[in-house]
Amino acid sequence: MPDLMQAAVVEAFGKPLVLREQSVPVPGPGQILVRTEACGVCHTDLHAARGDWPVKPVPPFIPGHEGIGIVVALGAGVTIVKEGDRVGVPWMYSACGHCEYCLSAWETVCPEIQFSGYTRNGGFAEYILADPNYVAHIPDGLSAVQAAPIICAGITTYKGLKETGARPGEWVAVSGVGGLGHLAVQYAKAMGLRVCAVDVDDDKLAHAKALGAELLINARERDPITALKDGTGGGAHGVLITAPSLTAFNQGVAMTRRHGTCVLVGLPPGDFPLPLFDVVAACITVRGSFVGTRKDMAEALAFAADGKVKADIELQPLSAINDVFDRLEHGKVPSRVVLDFGSQS
C-alpha cells in the first residue's frame, strides 16, 4: 500500500478543486479501505463544492459519491466483505441502524446518516474509507466504470420512479434528462412505463428519444405544461423532476395528471411556490425522494447487470475535474462523466 494518494479537494466553496497528494487513510475498527477504480461526477458534487445547500460540508473535503473500487484492507472486526471484493461507496455512507427509520427500511432519512463526499471524504481520490454495512455490492459482469453512475444517478431515479406509483402502461414525465434523467428514461422503459422527456437541450432530448422516450418537449421552445397535457391526454401519472432548475419544479407540478404524483429529486438551491388550489382540488401528491435504500441499490444494479439499463459515460482522468465541473454547470456534459483511475489496467 502506498503512503500517499492523489485527491481532488474542496478547500473553499466556489473555488476550483485542488489536486494534491495526501495520506492514504487507514481503516479503523469496522471500516474498510477501497482502492478507487472509477467515480462518477454527479451534479450534487457541484452543489457540494459551491456550498449550495442549507446543510453544508466542512472544507477541506473530497467530493464524490459514485466511487467504485476494490477492497484492499479491512479494519478490526470486519467480516461481511473481504479483500478483493468490488464495492461501491454511495451517497449514503452510513446510518445508525437502530432508529425508527433504519428499522423500517427508511435508512435514507436516518437522523444520523453520513454522506460520502459531503460529511465523509468521497471518491475523487485514489483510496476511499467506507462502512462495509452500507457499501454497494457490484454484480459480476458489471465493470467499475459502468457501475459508477448506477450507485447514485441510477438508484435515485429508480427509487424516484417507484415513488411516483405509476403503473405499467401509464405515463411518466422525466424533467431533466442529463446524468440522472438519461437513466430514468431507461428504468421507466424497463418498468413498462411510457416516457415523456422534458429538457432545455435538443441533444439531450434526442438521446432520450434514442433510449425510448415517446414524447419530447423542449421547455425553452414551448410551454411544457400544455405540450405534456396534450400529448398524454391530461398530464403524466408520475412526474420525476431531476432538473437542477426551479423553473422545472414550477412546471413539474402542473404537468402532473389529476390524482398523480410529482416526485422531487433535483436539488437546486432555493424554494418554489406550490399552487395550493391545483394541488388540493386535483388531489396531487408532491413528495421528495432521496437516493434509495440498500435494497433499492441491489435492484438498481441488477437492472444494469442484466443489460436493461446502461449508463452513457464519458471517461476522464481525475486531473480534469475542474473542467468537468465547468461543463456540468453549463449543461455541456452529454450524460455522465466517470473519472477513470486506471480501471482497465
Binding positions for ligand NAD, rule: CB under 6 A: 42-44, 47, 152, 156, 175-181, 198-201, 204, 219, 242-245, 247-248, 265-268, 289-291, 328, 331, 333
Q: Which does 266 bind (CB under 5 to 8 A by kind): ligand NAD, Zn ion, none?
A: ligand NAD
Q: Which is nearer to ligand NAD, 6 or 247 (CB)?
A: 247
Distance between CA atoms of 78 and 253, rounded to whole angstroms?
Answer: 46
* Amino acid, res. 83: E
- ∠ at Cα 51 (317, 174), nearest 5°? 75
Q: How far is the CB of 167 from ligand NAD (least distance, A)?
A: 23
Nearer to ligand NAD, 128 or 328 (CB): 328
Least separation in angstroms between CB 35 and ligand NAD: 24
User: Shortest gap between Cβ of 41 and ligand NAD (angstroms)?
Assistant: 8
Residue 265 binds Zn ion, judged by CB under 5 A: no
Choose from ligand NAD, Zn ion, none: what does 102 bind? Cβ within 5-8 Å by kind: Zn ion
Q: Which residue's CB is nearer to Zn ion, number 91 or number 171?
A: 91
Measured CA distances, 2 to 6, 20, 23, 171, 173 (Å): 11, 15, 9, 52, 48
Cβ neighbours around 256 below 10 Å, total: 28
Whether the Cβ atoms of residue 333 and residue 320 lie closer than 8 Å to each other: no
Q: Which residue's C-beta sits nearest to ligand NAD? A: 178
- Which residues make Cβ contacts (< 8 Å) with residue 344, sequence separation at least 6? none
Among 188, 144, 177, which Cα is nearest to 266's?
177
Residues 275 and 250: their CA atoms lie apart, in Å, by: 9
CB nearer to ligand NAD: pick between 24 and 219: 219
Least spacing, CB of residue 334 vs ligand NAD, in Å: 9
- Report d(CA 184, CA 181) in Å as an integer: 5
Q: What residues from 73 to 112 belong to the interface with Zn ion (CB under 5 A)? A: 95-96, 99, 102, 110
Residues that bind Zn ion (CB under 5 A): 42, 44, 95-96, 99, 102, 110, 152
